[in-house]
Amino acid sequence: MSFKISVTGEDISFDCEDGETVLEAAERAGYVIPYSCRKGVCGNCAGKISCGEAKVKGQGLCTGPLEDVLLCQARPISDLEIVPVRIRTADPVSRKTFEVRVRKVERPITDVAVIHLRFPIGNRAVFRAGQYLRVLMDDGDSRNYSLANPPHRNDSAELHIRHVPGGKFSQTILANLEKGATLKVELPYGEFTLSEREDQPAILIATGTGFAPIKSIVEHQIKSGGTRPMHLYWGSNIEADLYMRSLPEKWGATHPWFSFTPVISCPDKNWTGRDGLVHHAVQNDYPDMAALEVYACGAPVMINAAQKDFCEKAGLKDEAFFSDAFVPSGFSA
C-alpha cells in the first residue's frame, strides 16, 4: 500500500511506499529536504504535517496540523500534506555499499584517529564535498562518519574519528582496526554541502572532528579553482586538540580567498590567539550576517548556540545556516 505525500503551497507530490519514511520517499522521488543524522536526534529534518496521519518514532501517532515532526522518522498511515523547511529537486539518490580495506590508521592526538580506507580496485565512490558515509556493522547497527577527502580522490575515504568513552565503534572496534582489516560502508549521505550561492562568503565553523567535512569542502574548492571567500573558525578546549592545524594555516598562506582563525576555550598562558566560545568569535568578527552563509559542524551544543545567536542576533537567514551535528548515530540514538 502506498500513500500520497504533497507539499503545502507547492506543486509537488510523490508516493510513499509502505514502511518508508517521508525523507526516504522524497529522496526516491528526486526531492531533497534538509536532514543530517537520519536517526531522529539532530532535528534538521523537522517540518510540519498540515493534514494526515503518520507514525513517528519517538513522537508516536502524529495527526496534522502539527509542527516539529521529524520527517526522517515519519511513516505515513494516510495521505499526508507536509511543510518541510526547504525542498528542492535533485537526481534521485543512488547509494552504494562497498567492502573497504583499511590502508592506514593514524593518531595525530590521543583522542582522534584518522583512518584511510581503500575502495575495491576499480570502484570509485561518488559523493559531494561535505557528505558522510555509514559504517555498517555486523549486527545491523551503523555509524555515520564524514568524508574528509575531496570528491576527486574517490578511490579512497579518509575519516576523522573522535574517541567517545565506551563507544562501540570509536573505542571497541577502532581499537582493533589495523591495516588490512575490512569494513562495510554505504554512501553518500548528507546535505552538509556548499550551496551554489557563490557570491556569498561562507563562514565555516568546526569543533573537534567537525573539521573533517570542512577539509573536504576546502580541498574541493582548491582543486576546482574556485575563489568563493571562506573563513574557517576551528574551536577546541586546548590548542593541542586542533589535530591538523598546520593544514588550514597552509591554505590561508596560499589562497587569498581563505582565512583561518583558531579559537581556544580553555587556553594556557602561552596562547596569544582568540579565546572563548568559537561562535562568539565569529559573531564578534561578523556582527551583521545577513549576506553570509554559515556551515557549522561538530558538537551539537555549539551548533545549537550558533544557529540561535546568529539568526536571532546577527540577522543570518534561517536558510543560510547549514549543519551536521555529530549526535550519537547508533541503534539507540
Ligand X SMILES: Cc1cc2nc3c(=O)[nH]c(=O)nc-3n(C[C@H](O)[C@H](O)[C@H](O)COP(=O)(O)OP(=O)(O)OC[C@H]3O[C@@H](n4cnc5c(N)ncnc54)[C@H](O)[C@@H]3O)c2cc1C
Residues at the contact surface with ligand FES, assessed by CB under 6 A: 35-38, 40-45, 70, 72
CA 69 to chain centroid, in Å, comes to: 20
How many Å apart are CA 42 and CA 23, to the nearest integer? 14
111-150 footprint of ligand X as x/- string (CB under 6 A): ---------------------x----------xxxx----
DSSP collapsed to 3 states, 253-312: HHCCCEEEEEEECCCCCCCCCEECCHHHHHHHHCCCCCCCEEEEEECHHHHHHHHHHHHH
CB proximity list for 285: less than 8 A, separation 6 or greater? 231, 261
The length of the chain in residues reads 333
CA 81 – CA 63 distance, rounded (Å):
11
- If the CB atoms of residues 69 and 174 are measured against ligand FES, the closer one turns out to be 69
Quick one: 5 or 72, whose CB is closer to ligand X?
Answer: 72
Q: Of ligand FES, ligand X, none, which one does residue 40 interact with (CB within 5 to 8 Å by kind)?
A: ligand FES
Residue whose CB is less far from ligand FES, 207 or 323: 323
Which residue from 162, 220, 279, 280 is in contact with ligand X, where contact means CB under 6 A? 162
Q: Is 169 in the site for ligand X (CB under 6 A)?
A: yes
The sign of the CA dihedral 142, 145, 151, 154 is: negative
The Cα-based distances of 190 to 32, 117, 134, 169 in angstroms read 10, 19, 10, 20
Q: What does the alpha-carbon distance between residue 53 and residue 256 come to, in Å, rounded to a whole number?
A: 52
Q: Judge contact between 235 and 302, C-beta under 8 A.
A: yes
Using the contact rule CB under 6 A, the part of the chain among 44-52, 86-94, 156-164, 178-186 near ligand X is 156-164
Task: Find the binder of ligand X among 108, 167, 252, 276 (CB under 6 A).
Answer: 167
Secondary structure class of 164 (helix, strand, coil): coil
Query: Which residue, 131 or 149, has its beta carbon nearer to ligand FES?
Result: 131
Rounded to 5 degrees, φ, ψ at 200 are -95, 125
Smallest gap from residue 36 Cβ to ligand X (A): 5
Interacting residue with ligand X among 131, 170, 216, 221 (CB under 6 A) = 170
Nearer to ligand FES, 70 or 212 (CB): 70
* Region from 53-61, 68-76, 154-162, 193-201 binding ligand X, contact rule CB under 6 A: 154-162
Least CB distance from residue 331 to ligand X, whole Å? 8
Query: Shortest Cβ contact with ligand X: which residue?
Result: 167
- Residue 307 in contact with ligand X, rule: CB under 6 A: no
Q: How many CB atoms lie within 10 A of CB 240?
A: 14
Using CB under 6 A, which of the segments 16-24, 100-108, 159-167, 255-263 binds ligand X?
159-167
Characterise 9 by phi-psi region: left (phi > 0), alpha (psi -120 to 50), beta (else): left
Q: Does 324 bind ligand X (CB under 6 A)?
A: yes
Q: Which residues bind ligand X (CB under 6 A)?
A: 36-37, 132, 143-146, 160-162, 164, 166-171, 190, 209, 212, 324, 326-330
